[in-house]
Amino acid sequence: MLQHELKARARVVDECLGTIFEGASPEQLYRACTHYIYAGGKRLRPVVVMLACELSGGEDDPIPCAAAVELIHTFTLIHDDIMDRDELRRGIPTVHTLWGEAGAILAGDTLYSKAFETIAHSTMPPEKRSECIAVLSRACTSICEGQWMDMSFEDRASVSEQEYLEMVEKKTAVLYGAAAEVGGIVGGASKGQREALYEFGRLCGIAFQIQDDVLDLVASEDALGKDALSDIRQGKKTLIAIHALSKGATIPAFGDTHASTDELRRAMEVLETTGSIQYAMDTAQRYLAMAKAKLDVFEDCEVKTLLLELADFLVSRGY
């Protein structure tokens, strides 16, 4: 049921995204903007908007806000790939490898502005439009703060688990939180329900990112659609690496962009021996349980069940 609902709602979002870019010029700019969008993706964040709206009463149309959240997410991916020097995303070349860094920056900036334009032109009452724009604006600021923290970690010998979790919250989780809260605003949620929805999305987002760090290690490059083991090569201070380093382990190939296959294999052995991969998986499950508990403020119904199943999916994919 969840997979059917994800696909059905993703199609609706894609139709909206298509109208946003239809006939847009200059052609190459908008080809860069839509490069990742047309490459696929499950539209998880827009689906969160739609389900949260339905759970809250469904007073207004959530599609413009759902599309806006996907535009913001895509903008962050483009800029993130530039900073990480990644060459693959969703199984295709990254935007900056095809259009250059300057072109990629412009594409990201265009997506950012289009997101808020889409909300501004929606049919929601003005006060709801204003609230949604405020929530997403704050999320974008937090994302930039989190990205800065992530970059700064690369130059540090050690990072605490608490610092990592703060970075993940800002860089990844706040957009899930904002997606859920925006859906609540559109749907007519009460203040308490909005807060619960935000916390649901935020905690899901933390679990999602921890799971993403695990997938970077255990999934194949074909399954990931991006460079496998890039976190080891780049010396990323993920929860896995932080845990292993706290145990006094030395991780081969950590921070070596030219690491050999054998060095990477030995790095994986270290992370498995220290129990660091399992520790990350257990932590993701703990955050998932906290997230699902936040929906207790809503009565049981089909939409609530879908949101709970979506939360499980975020942390189970790849296993």
Say which residues have a Cβ less than 8 Å from residue 304's Cβ, sequence separation at least 6.
55, 295, 298
pTM of the model: 0.94
| 222 band by pLDDT with thresholds 50, 70 and 90 | low
User: E strand or H helix at 57, and its extent?
Assistant: none
Q: What is the pLDDT of residues 169-201, one digit of tens each?
A: 999 999 999 999 999 999 999 999 999 999 999
Token readout for 287 is 């955050």
| 224 band by pLDDT with thresholds 50, 70 and 90 | very low
Query: Is pLDDT above 80 for 319?
Result: no
Query: Is pLDDT above 70 for 206?
Result: yes
Query: Is pLDDT above 90 for 316?
Result: no
pLDDT, residue 106, reads: 98
Query: Is pLDDT above 50 for 263?
Result: yes
Query: Any idea which architecture 2-300 has in CATH?
Result: Orthogonal Bundle (1.10)
Please list, residue by residue across 250-275, b when 16 or more beta carbons sit within 10 angstroms of its beta carbon and e when fewer do: ebbbbeeeebeeebbeebbebbeebe
pLDDT, residue 299, reads: 97
Q: What is the pLDDT of residues 31-72, one digit of tens each?
A: 999 999 999 889 999 999 999 999 999 999 999 999 999 999
φ/ψ (deg, to 5) at 122 = -75, 170
| 292 band by pLDDT with thresholds 50, 70 and 90 | very high
| 219 band by pLDDT with thresholds 50, 70 and 90 | confident
Mean pLDDT of the chain, nearest integer: 94
Percent residues over pLDDT 70 in the chain: 96
| 221 band by pLDDT with thresholds 50, 70 and 90 | low
89 by DSSP, 3-state: which? strand
DSSP string, 252-285: TTTT-TT--HHHHHHHHHHHHHTTHHHHHHHHHH
Q: What is the pLDDT of residues 225-251, one digit of tens each?
A: 556 688 898 888 999 999 999 999 999
Q: Is the peptide bond before 26 cis (omega within 30 degrees of 0)?
A: yes
Please list, residue by residue across 23-58, b when 16 or more beta carbons sit within 10 angstroms of its beta carbon and e when fewer do: eeeeeeebbbbbbbbeeebbbbbbbbbbbbbbbbee
pLDDT, residue 231, reads: 87
pLDDT, residue 91, reads: 87
| 15 band by pLDDT with thresholds 50, 70 and 90 | very high
Sequence spans of domains, the chain:
2-300
Q: What is the pLDDT of residues 127-147, one digit of tens each?
A: 999 999 999 999 999 999 999
Closest CA to 273 of 240, 236, 300, 315: 240
Contact present, 272 and 249 (Cβ < 8 Å): no
CB burial of residue 301 (10 Å; 0-12, 13-18, 19+): exposed
DSSP string, 26-56: SHHHHHHHHTTTTT----HHHHHHHHHHHHT
Whole-angstrom Cα Rg for the chain: 19
Max CA-CA distance within the chain?
A: 59
The total of other beta-carbon atoms located within 10 Å of residue 248's CB is 7
